Each structure stands twice: as C-alpha cells, then as structure tokens.
Homo-oligomer: A and B are copies of this chain.
Amino acid sequence: MDCVPIKKAARNYCSVESWKNRFPITKWLPGYSLGYLVSDIVAGLTVGLMVIPQSLAYASVAKLPIQYGLYSSYMGCFVYCILGGAKDVTIGPTAIMSLLVSSYGKQGPDQHTGIHEPSYAILLAFLCGVIQLIMGIFHLGTLTGFISASVVAGFTTASAITIAFGQVKHILGIHFSSGSFAEDVYNTFKHIPDSNPWDVLLGVITIVALVLLTLIQKDTVVWEKKGWKDASMATKVLWKFLWFMGTARNAIVVICGMLVALALESSGHADVITVTGHINSTGLPAFKPPDFHLPNILGVFNIGIALVPIIGYFESIVIGKGFARQSNYKIEPNQELVAIGVCNIAGSFVQAYPVTGSFSRTAVNFQSGVRTPAAGIFTGAVVMLALAFLTPLFRLIPEATLGAVIIVALIKLIQLPIIKRLWTIRKLDLVPYLVTLVASLGLDVAYGTLIGIGVDLVILLFPVARPSIKIDSSSQQINDLELSSASHSQQLQVGAESVAVVTVDSSIRYPSIDYISEQITELSSSVDHPTKLVLDFSRVNMIDYTVVQGMSDLMVDLRRAGVRAAFANVLPSIKEQLNKGDIYQLRMFDSVQDAIWSLAENTGEDLEPDNNGDVKA
C-alpha cells in the first residue's frame, strides 16, 4: 500500500501554518497594539453592558433560573478569543438557543416554579460542544448547505414568534406553566382578565422606551456616517452619548425597572409588580464537570442532540460571514465550528447552557469599532463582575421589563416580507418556508425545521425521483431490420407486432427505480401491448444497489407479463454491476438494433421464472 498521500496529508495537517489556522489568536496577537487595545476595551465593555440584561432575559426563555444566563455569557468569550476567527462575533446565550434549551434541555419543570433543573441544559451544552468539535475536525460544516434560505427564514420567524409571544404573559403579569405555542396562545387569552394593570403599564412603557432608544441608536449611526467630519465637538459628544444610550438600552430599562421595584418595596408595596424574586445562588458558579449520570438522557435531549449543535453553528456562521463581508475578511467555517464547540464544552464546566454567536451583540461589537476577538475578554470580565457583586439585586428585576426586552429584540426577526420576495423570485420556495413556519408553530421549532428540510429535499430531489423517460413503441426499427436481414423475416414479422424502446434520460438512482419500473410495466399492460422491450441505457451513467435489485424484479415482472426484454448501450461499469446482480435472464447488447434483432430471433424458449414461495424482501 502506498503511504505517500497519507504522509503528505499528515505533514500538511501538522504544518505550522495549519496549526496557526487552528489558533487564530496566533495571527493577530503578534501585531496587537495599544490602539487596538483601546478599541477592544470600549467595544468589550459596551457589549458587556448589553449582555447582562439580555442573558438574564434569555435564561427566562430557556426556563432556567435567570443567573444561568450570566453563567453562559463569559466562558465562551474567553475561549473564542483564542480559537475564533471573526473579530466581531460575540459568543453567548441567544434567543434561539434558549428556545431550543427550553424544549430539549429539561426533564419536566418544577411543579411550583415552572423552572427546570439546569443539569440537563448543562450536559446538553457539553454534548453539543463535543458534536460541534467533531464536526469541525472532520470538516462537516458544509452539511449545513442542505438547509435552504427559505427553511432558515421559516425557522427564524417561527422562533421569534414563539419566543416573543411567550413573553406576553410577563407583560400582562399573568401566570401559567408554558407549553407549546398553541397552548401559550390559548392560556394567554384565557388569563387576560387576570392581568395585573401595573405590570402592563410597566411593560408597555418599557417597550415604548426600548423602541425609541433603538431608533435613536440607528439614526446616530447614520448621522455619524454622513456628517462626522463636519460636525462640531459638541455634536459629536451628543451623538456618541445618544448612541451609547441606544446601545445600553436594555441595561437602562432594567436598571429603571429595578429602581421602580426598589421604590415600591421600600414603600411597602412590594406586590404591586411581579419581580423575578429571590435567587438561591449568588456569586460565580463552581468550576465542575457536567453531571453525566442523569437519567433518561436520550429521552430528554431527543432530536435536540442533533439540532442544537447544527442550529447553533448555523446561527454563528451566518452572523460571522455577514460581518466578515462588512469588514472584508474571510472566516473558515470549520474552524468556527471547532471554536464554538470548545466554547460549549468549556462553558459546561461553569454551568453554561448551549451558546453561539449572538446577532445583536455582534452588531454592537462591530459598531463599537472592535479590532480583535480580545474584546471578548472585557465582555467576559464585566459579566463575571456582575455575577460576583450584582446577583443579590437581580431579585428586583421586574418580569415585565425582561419580557419587554425580549419582545423588542425579537420582533425584528419575524421575517414576513420574505413571503413577497419568495413569491417574486421562486414561488415553489414558499412551500418549505410556510411548511417550516406552520410546523414549527404547530409542533415545535426543532420538528418544524426537520419537516421543512425534508420538504425542501423532496422538492430538490423531484427531478432525481422522476427522470424523464422516452418510450418509443413504433415498429419502425423492426421494419428497417427486416430489410437488412431477410433471413430472419419470419421471426421478425412475429416480433414486428410491437417493440418498445425505453430510454431513461439521466442516471438512475434509488428514488426513481419504482417510478421507472411502474412506467415500464404499465406499458406492458397498455392497449398496444408490446411483447418485446429494449431498455436503452446510453444516457445512464450511474446506478446503485437498489436499482440493480429493482431491475432484477422488473425483469421477472416483464417475463410474467409476456414481455421479453433486453438492455442496450450499457456502459462497461454498469454492465459489470448488472452482471453481478444475478438479474433474471439478463441480456445486454451493444446497440438497440442488435437488441431488437436478438429479441425477435429467439422467442418463447425462455424458462419461466421460479414459482416457489421465496421473494426478495
């Protein structure tokens, strides 16, 4: 055996360059400068201020105690700094990961609080990381190419609707244990009369404030871009201040909400608005491995074990590619998989649930002028400080405030205008979008996405499953033959009643064999019932095992229907496959004419197929 290619691959694999690619920090760290450091600190701290309220809110989407949002927000930043290839990407909990965790990272909620035991979510993070790492090492990231843009849009829209609607109850200050989207809708409307008007007031004010701050932030980005050079110092300071207010909007509304709660508590009206309430654990989480001895792991994680790593990767890579495009650099998808994988594995040791790149925080990171992934260190440090010193305050966070934060963050992910785009560009692509959307809302997003991918594949594979078949049952070829070989005229006239030539216009693969067999056997029971049939394989350049089996069955079926069949123009490789398939009375000829001639010559002396009880199952 020749080992040269293996040796070469091994040498390639071990080269300094490839190891540098595996640790992108080695590429940017040598050129790191004070200017970069300042930029990274500003960006890192800005994102840090953003991630604290966001992660608390997302933990509540994941139906975990809210401090788990912070537990999940720092380790990923540190790890990504070493392994990550996109300067802008910020790793941490996201809405979609939280939604998946709420479905696949739990063993049934606590009866009293509706909160889940976090051990499963942490183990899920570990396993998700291992799968992502393996996928990255074996370069399987490209498999996500089988998820089309329509399915992604359907999935994102359904997730956003599910998550946002799930928060309406917090705005209304009503309580019930959440279930599917349909149950949530039903219960929310049923409980509207029990709404707490003070929660509603706080929620609505928070939403309005958040929308205004979002608009302000967007406008300042535009103003700065257009008029930064000509602006006065005062204008610049005002713009920066407004931009910062907009960016820190979540932190601002959470602090305001806490102040309101504190004021109410001090004045003896603690129960007027619904707050998060007492948190058992304070400070940083312990560093310990996830619990590998949980019961019924497969039952709990279910399809989540496959979908959480894939969707997590997908979310991050879409964001990473988008911002790499903005900043004119390239990212290596499989290296990103490795990075996120290690983020999740390491995260599971500090009780993090599955994390990935966050769109909103990555955008702010970019706008804040981040230069390298080192910014993550400062984001992580802010989160750790918050955990160390602020957890006792979290009990004051009003639930309506967190609900408002989530709703405003997610409403823009609801992609309905895409319906018009799909309609104008390719109507058929509306089907996977709508199927994914409806199935995700009706069942849950994971199943909905799987179903959507399935429908998309069926649409994609339709041409493979239904190749075009040309059936020529004229007897012209026979007549030609009669002229050229007069000695065979007796048989030929018998044969001339009808010969069908069937040409399949592409390679034959397993999804199409039933269809092809049916078309051919139907032909044999048609009115001008041909007694001879030639399968012209001139355009068939690939078959598979199922097709060989199918051809074998087809030959028996044809013989029983009184049709004598032969193959013509079979490629040598396919000839070999058919020969090895033990096909009943296999006859192959170099041309259609030869095949017709031979069929016309020998009639009737074929053996009947075996009539015993054995069938090939």
Contacts and interface: CB of A to CB of B under 8 A. Distances in A.
Interface of A: 142-143, 145-146, 148-150, 156, 221-222, 225, 298-299, 302-303, 318-319, 321-323, 325-326, 328, 330, 359, 363, 366-367, 421-422, 424-426, 428-429, 443, 456-458, 460-461, 464-465, 509-515, 521, 525, 543-546, 548-549, 553, 556-557, 560, 577, 580-581, 611-613, 615-617
B580 A511 contact: no
B510 A145 contact: yes
Nearest to A421: B545
A510 B153 CA distance: 14
Nearest to A144: B514
Contacts of A512: 145
Contacts of A514: 142, 145
B548 A425 contact: yes
Given A145-B510, A145-B512, A577-B426, A150 B617 contact: no
A351 to B, nearest CB: 25
Contact of A457 (B298, B429, B457, B557): B457
Contacts of A145: 465, 510-515
A617 B322 contact: yes
9 contacts: A145-B511, A156-B617, A225-B611, A321-B553, A322-B615, A322-B617, A425-B581, A456-B510, A460-B510
A303 B222 CA distance: 49
Contacts of A443: 298
B580 A509 contact: no
Contacts of A545: 148-150, 421-422, 425-426, 429
Given A150-B545, A546-B150, A548-B425, A509 B460 contact: yes
One complex includes copies of this chain to the number of: 2
A326 B460 contact: no
Contacts of A613: 221, 326, 363, 366-367
Nearest to A514: B145
B580 A546 contact: no
A298 B615 CA distance: 37
B461 A557 contact: no
Contacts of A617: 156, 318-319, 322, 359
A460 B221 CA distance: 48
A567 to B, nearest CB: 16
B458 A464 contact: no
Contacts of A557: 325
B325 A560 contact: yes
A241 B299 CA distance: 50
Given A145-B513, A511-B460, A326 B580 contact: no
A425 B577 contact: yes
A345 to B, nearest CB: 22
A543 to B, nearest CB: 8
B225 A612 contact: yes
B149 A510 contact: yes
A615 to B, nearest CB: 3
A84 to B, nearest CB: 17
Contacts of A580: 421, 424-425
A460 B510 CA distance: 9
Nearest to A459: B544
A608 to B, nearest CB: 11
A6 B322 CA distance: 47
A156 B616 CA distance: 13
Contact of A303 (B148, B303, B548): B303
A261 B287 CA distance: 60
A326 B611 contact: yes
Best-buried of A321, A359, A428, A545 by chain B (most CB within 10 Å): A545
Contacts of A460: 461, 464, 509-511
Contact of A553 (B325, B424, B548, B612): B325
